[in-house]
A and B are shown apart, each in its own frame.
Chain A
Amino acid sequence: MIRANAEELIRKSIARFVDREIIPRAQEIDNKKEFPIEILKQIAEMGVFGIRYPKEKGGAGGNTTLYCIICEELARGLMSVAAITAMQCLMGTNFLFHFGTDQMRQTYFYPAMRGEKFSCFCLTEPEAGSDLGAVSTSAKKTEDGYMVNGLKTWVTNGPIADFFTVLCQTNPAKKFRGLNFFFIPRDTPGVSVSQPFETLGTVTTKMSEVAFSNVHIPEDYRLGQEGQGLDNLMTILAEIRSMTAALAIGLQRAALADSIRYAQEREAFGRPIGKYQLIQAKVANMATQLEASRLMTYRATRMIDQGIPCMTEASMAKYFATEAACTAADECTRIFGAYGYSMEYNAQRYYRDSRFLLNGGGTHEILQTNIARWAGL
């Protein structure tokens, strides 16, 4: 029986979309700093937002590897689009899908799969990021549900999201065991969203603070068993880190391709700068780090798909691929010389967008600490 390879086919199909619909408009979208709704609608029409969810439950029937292939290809075109898509496919909808009621899924999850509603994930607080034990947004039990109070920050999609998945503390005495995720629609009384932040990169991905002031929600808006918030987060953390690594691979590919093209075109002292060994060394290092990033990232995604624990592998992949993306973007601006400093070329965008990858899924300082511990230190 002859069958096509789904990974190759999906990559090819998304790459075609990126080449035709995103890359020609990427610079314009970035300059305008507008939420790229038209492109996201097209991505929704391709069924991408449901890539991780089972077909029989309204998804596309894919897996983590396919999800990361799509994120990588989109990031090759424009990091903001990839970041919003990554959020919609995973962190923004995962717990709603697994723990929401049928009514919640009908009203929010399926419209999100169709690109009619947007989601986001509220984890970080002004005083709590990687240190989840410090989360202070509270969800106090009431007779018929919970009362939520607190402030979340660096909420990707915050300004445009229709619903939030919010990490709250229900019992500070229990610390990590008191953490729970809650589903909160944007139009719930007491929810307020700040103006979008001015950011260095991914300028069309809107980020903001989200404040909850005496927000009353019913009991079934708690996503998962009481006290299981951290455990539930751990079920997707390796996937979040692999996805971030895939985004970094996409950016590396874009920076490398532009660098090669420019090194072949730009002449100095009578020949293309790509003929000089110092430029060749930059390109060789970028290509090698890209290949290593691919091997590490897709090893982790395949382990996730096989149900094999891989927090170490995924963390290493995120750390390595993101550092490689930052280096690739930096080298790209150097190969472009003064034009790398110009807002007319993509090199500056790669440089700015690469910084977006550093914090999501764990800062590299935290990841290195964990990796050293796992290594036996």
Chain B
Amino acid sequence: MDIIVLVKQVPNTTDVKLDEKTGSLIREGLESILNPDDRHALEAAVQLKEATKGHVTVVSMGPPQAIEVLTEAIGMGVDQGILLSDTAFAGADTWATSSTLGKAIQQIGKFDLIICGRQAIDGDTAQIGPQVADYLHVPQVTYVAEIDNIDEKSVIVKRRLEDGYEMVESELPALLTVISEINKPRYPDVGKMIAACHEDASIKTWNAADIGVTVHEVGLAGSLTHVIKTYVPKFKRQGEIIEGDTKAVVRELIQKLGRSEGSTACKAVAAACRLEAS
């Protein structure tokens, strides 16, 4: 079974800060990591490889330092890595990213299964997996919590819904996006990572020409959407915890509700409380 896993290197934070002038993500001082959901995708692929004697290829699009997450994937047991890195890929929206990944997958050739993490912690779009499936015209199953059964022709998975689960069968080739409850990822093997850092390592770097695209089809130029403005939303309401003796806390709370700006309901509650207290 030939499996392809798509991964992304992301900043190690869920509290993304933006530069107000440029609208871009402030990366200074942030460590780069393998996207958490992608780690589960890799583990799922390696488990399938071990069960079916398959072959796993990991693909990532990003700057040269994204080689780190591919090396980590090799450490987890993936057979080969492909880094899509070219200045032409920069500024891609999710569609351009998905089509670039799709092109690379077509270049790789035969595959039975593509596995992605549900979403990346930086963009939180959860669009790449479904869009890659669409680009390649293969069925997709998202939010996969368990791979129940797989053979040469089909896969049966347990898919998480808002209020439960559903079992879905799909013919192969297919694309799955997985959630963290699917497995507990292994830690990478240090020897495999060291080997992957050597010159003869099984990680290739492909540019736009290698996957047969022109610079107009990828990156910012190939994007269908353009970000006009990025900003951090301002929270109008902020919680406050009042601590101390219960009576004193309640008294302070009533005072605060009474003083609260333009909220009739709060003032009504405060008035009712005063009435009750008296």
Contacts and interface: CB of A to CB of B under 8 A. Distances in A.
A46 B189 contact: yes
Contacts of B197: 3-6, 9
Interface in A44-90: 45-48, 50-51, 55, 59-62, 66, 70
A190 to B, nearest CB: 37
B73 to A, nearest CB: 11
A3 B201 contact: yes
Contacts of B188: 13, 46
A130 to B, nearest CB: 33
A3 B75 CA distance: 14
A6 to B, nearest CB: 4
B190 A4 contact: no
B198 interface: yes
A264 interface: no
Nearest to A7: B197
B34 to A, nearest CB: 10
A13 B193 contact: yes
A1 interface: yes
Nearest to A70: B190
A287 interface: no
B191 interface: yes
Interface string B180-222: 0000001111111111111101010100000000000000000
Interface string A1-40: 1111110111011101100000000000000000000000
Contacts of A59: 191
Contacts of A342: none
B57 interface: no
Q: Which of A2, A48, A66 has the most CB of B within 10 A?
A: A2
B3 to A, nearest CB: 22
Contacts of A70: 190
A5 B65 CA distance: 10
Interface residues of B, number: 27
A13 B31 CA distance: 12
Nearest to B188: A13
A289 B199 CA distance: 36
Interface in B51-80: 64, 67-68, 70-72, 75
A14 B194 CA distance: 13
A6 B70 CA distance: 13
Nearest to B85: A2
B58 to A, nearest CB: 13
Nearest to B31: A12
Contact of A1 (B72, B187, B195, B205): B205
Contacts, number: 78
Contacts of B194: 6, 10, 55, 60-62, 66
Contacts of B201: 3
B187 A61 contact: no
B83 interface: yes
Interface in A175-229: none
Contact of A13 (B67, B72, B205): B72
Interface-central residue, B72, B194, B203, by most chain A CB under 10 Å: B194
Contact of B187 (A5, A17, A62): A17
Nearest to A10: B190
Nearest to A53: B191
B187 A3 contact: no
Contacts of B190: 10, 13-14, 46-48, 51, 60, 62, 66, 70
A42 interface: yes
B195 A61 contact: yes
A66 B190 CA distance: 10
A255 B160 CA distance: 43
A3 B68 contact: no
Nearest to A58: B191
Contacts of A62: 190-191, 194
Nearest to A5: B197
B187 A42 contact: yes
Contacts of B205: 1-2
A3 B201 CA distance: 8
Contacts of A8: 68
B207 to A, nearest CB: 11
A17 B189 CA distance: 12
Given A9-B72, A13-B75, A2 B191 contact: no
B191 A47 contact: yes
Nearest to B63: A2
Contacts of B191: 47, 50-51, 55, 59-62
A4 B186 contact: no
Nearest to B75: A13
B187 A6 contact: no
Contacts of A17: 187
Interface string A85-99: 000000000000000
A288 to B, nearest CB: 22
Nearest to A17: B187
B187 A9 contact: no
23 contacts: A1-B199, A1-B205, A2-B203, A3-B67, A3-B198, A3-B199, A3-B203, A4-B67, A4-B68, A4-B71, A4-B196, A6-B194, A9-B68, A9-B72, A10-B190, A13-B187, A14-B190, A45-B186, A47-B192, A48-B190, A60-B190, A60-B191, A70-B190
Given A5-B197, A59-B191, 10 more contacts: A2-B203, A2-B205, A3-B67, A3-B197, A3-B201, A3-B203, A4-B67, A4-B193, A4-B196, A10-B193
Going nearest first, the 7 A-B pairs with the smallest beta carbon separation are: A60-B191, A6-B197, A4-B71, A47-B191, A47-B189, A47-B190, A2-B64
Interface of B: 31, 64, 67-68, 70-72, 75, 83, 85, 186-199, 201, 203, 205
Interface of A: 1-6, 8-10, 12-14, 16-17, 42, 45-48, 50-51, 55, 59-62, 66, 70
